[in-house]
Structure 1
Amino acid sequence: MKDILTTAEAAQLLGISTRTAQLWVESGQLPSWKTPGGHRRIPRQAVFDLIERPLQQQSGVRAHAIILAAGGRGDGWRSAGLPGLGLLLHVAEGLQQVREWLTLTPPMLIVVEHADEAERKKLVASLSNDGRFAQTTIVSLTMTRSGTPVLREPQRVRLGMLPDVAATSAAVVEHLMKTGRHDLDFAFRTPWNERARLAAVRDSGLLGSAPDPGFDRLVRLAAHAVRAPIAMFTLVTQDEQWFKSRTGFDGSTTPRDWAFCNETLVANELTVIEDLSKAPQFSQNPTIAQPYGFRFYAGAPVRDPLGFALGSTCVIDVKPRRLSANEREALGTIADAASNLIRLRALEREIT
């Protein structure tokens, strides 16, 4: 009996379609790795573990948002996004695609436009009554304009759907940022999913862990790729940023309110600050002054298998500068490689 399976073989054992198995692999739900030829391989034991503990019995959520957009509004949602929430976005205008996504670990957020239409209303009702989605916030957008959000129960809300997608997105973000964050009191910006993100950092097994040559190589590659004197792989906790790997910097931690990576966590994408001395949010940051004299920052999120940004792969320089398109791509690719390495290390821990 083979210990290693292809995606198709894993799908056959699980009794699901190959496409669904691919979705589980892409989301990190089904552990895997990629061969040099680009093919996915899956440990047979991981499939058996999934059979013994089905997805429906797994707890937690992933750092994703699923948007069921109204007809013709999908591109508008992809453009507007849901800034500041810390979630990876999936947008579809059809129910079938959304149902496929919902077979994965539940997302933190589901937004349904035209939620007063029969089929979409039925979807919202079924999700609200499904225990798998108890930790998922479900936002129903209807054409019935309401001056204030209608809260049906915790994490279930109905808002008015606006003609402009960007305005609708802004209304959703504004409501979510006002609710569910009452116990968070930081002097700097944090994403909406900060509480869950902090839990993911704690659960990663990376904090305080021994040096890892794999991460060290990626950090050195980042410094080389963008010609920066300092590069780091940071993990951002509630109180500090801890450097899992670093080059060009002596300390192993800094207070979190020194962390430029806070901006990367909020943006949830590659973030470049060309001149830190001109950024108002860093006017009191000690690293802008001597002996550090930092002037440039660029960081890309490093994620766990469920999509939570644990920190970033970042580079720092002591002079203002810009990144070329190739340098941006390189830094993003290196951060993705660090995310894949996190998934591999988690898989190795499960196997052993």
Structure 2
Amino acid sequence: MATEDDPILTTRDAAALLGVSVKTAQTWIEQGQIESWKTPGGHRRVRASAVNGLRDRLGNRRHASTIIDSAVALVVASDARLPTYVEAAAAAGLRAIGQSDPLNAMLDAGIAMPAVIAVELMAGDWERQSMCRRLLHSRDLAHTRMLLVTDMPAARVKADLGTMSRVKLLQSPADKPAFATALVSCLALTSSDGDDALSYPVAANEAARLRAVERTGLVDSMNDPEFDEVVQLTAEMLRVPISLMTLLTPDRQWFKARWGLNAHETPRPWAFCNFTIMQNDVFVVENAAVDPLFNANPLVVNEPRIRFYAGAPLRDAGGNALGALCGIDRQPRVIDATQRRRLVNLAALASDRIALLKGTRLNRWVKGA
């Protein structure tokens, strides 16, 4: 049975705590590097102490003062509890911003673009409840998860806020270990109704990543023959009917270039590329129909009925992942090492072209053209 000092974590929680991809965490668990067990439903579970033990052995303990790209956590709580929660967030490796006033908290959220917002929300606190509702329905904060430390039942919170897909509840009062663990788990939060097709991982530097996407000036821009050529080459190289160059905004997966598909965008929660941008290498799904991460995804169940996916991240000069270059097939398949390498090379070419366009635009502005 879980204790407050050693809670039970999912594989995604473990991945977030270790700062690695879910796939890497799964591999380590299967190899026995993290002691685990299976639930009656067949899902792996681990103890926080086991995950922290591996993190210590890897020499990978994170400190907020030294990790520039750690996730930003906005903590909104009473003056009495705020120092405790901010300290817990910092101990978890997050860059914590503390605020007790709801209006100032909303201003901070708009500036910092936090990956997670933790709110002490008690029954009858209508001001903070209104703040939570506005933050959850903000398009600019569509990537943000929310942790509510509350004395209210889940049904009451859902009725008040109207959505729970990005919300995690923690019973009040919460001690430091429970608060820190819940914050970290929010970074890999799944949909509250268990629909994995509507869940996706969020990068620790998501706020910086979104700003980098905006700086490209490419979202909703006109077609560009140079990028159209890249997706065509990708489709031919992978021998697939569909290829896309995607950019991931707070709420959309927008296609800067596409081959074999008429759609211009999808909702971001549907995007396979959410997982690609968490990798440095190629992300491959050989058969989405039997993959538990994707088998209920609308793009798998309905048109274009994705079965195979292979993607490589697109990055700017600062290393921020902007989106992905990917190939898609309606049939299950595999790719070899040569195709993986060429996909990485084509993604690097597309990234260079993005940087070139951005540089050209900046030069025009400087010259006043």
Normalising by structure 1, report the TM-score: 0.51
Alpha-carbon distance in structure 1 between the residues aligned to 2:207 and 2:188: 9
Q: Deviations over 1:210-234 (max 9, x none)?
A: 2111111111110111111100100
Give the drift of 1:265: 1.9
Alignment of 1:227-242 (within 5 A): 227-242=239-254
Alpha-carbon distance in structure 2 between the residues aligned to 1:280 and 1:134: 32
Alpha-carbon distance in structure 1 between the residues aligned to 2:333 and 2:60: 46
Alpha-carbon distance in structure 2 between the residues aligned to 1:214 and 1:350: 19
Give the drift of 1:306: 1.1
Alignment of 1:136-215 (within 5 A): 137=70, 157=91, 178-179=183-184, 187-189=198-200, 190-215=202-227
Give the drift of 1:202: 2.0
Aligned partner of 1:220: which letter? Q
Give the drift of 1:179: 4.7
Alpha-carbon distance in structure 1 between the residues aligned to 2:318 and 2:21: 18
Aligned partner of 1:234: which letter? T
CA distance change for structure 1 residues 244 and 137 in 2, over 3 Å: closer, same or farther? closer
Where does structure 2 lack aligned partners over 5 or more consecutive residues?
Answer: 1-17, 23-57, 72-83, 94-179, 192-197, 365-369
Are 1:283 and 2:295 matched, yes or no? yes
Are 1:83 and 2:17 matched, yes or no? no
Alpha-carbon distance in structure 2 between the residues aligned to 1:225 and 1:284: 28
Give the drift of 1:299: 0.3
Where does structure 1 lack aligned partners over 5 or more consecutive residues?
Answer: 1-80, 86-111, 116-123, 139-149, 160-174
Tell me, yes or no, if the aligned pair for 1:188 and 1:262 is still in contact at 8 Å: no
Give the drift of 1:340: 0.8
Tell me, yes or no, if the aligned pair for 2:295 and 2:301 is still in contact at 8 Å: no
Question: What is the aligned counterpart of 1:248 among 247, 260, 263?
Answer: 260
SS of the equivalent of 1:266 reads: coil
- RMSD of aligned Cα (Å): 3.6
Q: Deviations over 1:154-203 (max 9, x none)?
A: 986599xxxxxxxxxxxxxxx79935967988641222222322222222
Normalising by structure 2, report the TM-score: 0.49
**Stretch deviating more after TM superposition (177-186 or 192-201):** 177-186
Aligned partner of 2:305: which letter? G
CA distance change for structure 1 residues 297 and 113 in 2, over 3 Å: closer, same or farther? closer
> Which has the bigger relative contact order, CA under 8 A and spacing at least 6?
1
Alpha-carbon distance in structure 2 between the residues aligned to 1:345 and 1:236: 18
SS of the equivalent of 2:333 reads: coil
**Stretch deviating more after TM superposition (228-237 or 199-208):** 199-208
Alpha-carbon distance in structure 2 between the residues aligned to 1:212 and 1:257: 26
Show the counterpart of 2:274: 262
Aligned partner of 1:83: which letter? V
SS of the equivalent of 1:280 reads: coil
Aligned length: 206
Give the drift of 1:289: 2.8
Aligned partner of 1:188: which letter? S
Aligned partner of 2:199: which letter? F
Q: Deviations over 1:17-41 (max 9, x none)?
A: xxxxxxxxxxxxxxxxxxxxxxxxx
Tell me, yes or no, if the aligned pair for 2:209 and 2:322 is still in contact at 8 Å: yes
Tell me, yes or no, if the aligned pair for 1:137 and 1:155 is still in contact at 8 Å: no
CA distance change for structure 1 residues 345 and 183 in 2, over 3 Å: closer, same or farther? same
SS of the equivalent of 2:277 reads: helix
Alpha-carbon distance in structure 1 between the residues aligned to 2:239 and 2:182: 38
CA distance change for structure 1 residues 306 and 176 in 2, over 3 Å: closer, same or farther? farther
Tell me, yes or no, if the aligned pair for 1:235 and 1:312 is still in contact at 8 Å: yes
Question: What is the aligned counterpart of 2:358 among 337, 346, 350?
Answer: 346
SS of the equivalent of 1:281 reads: coil
Show the counterpart of 1:226: 238
Alpha-carbon distance in structure 2 between the residues aligned to 1:274 and 1:250: 23
Alpha-carbon distance in structure 1 between the residues aligned to 2:228 and 2:314: 14
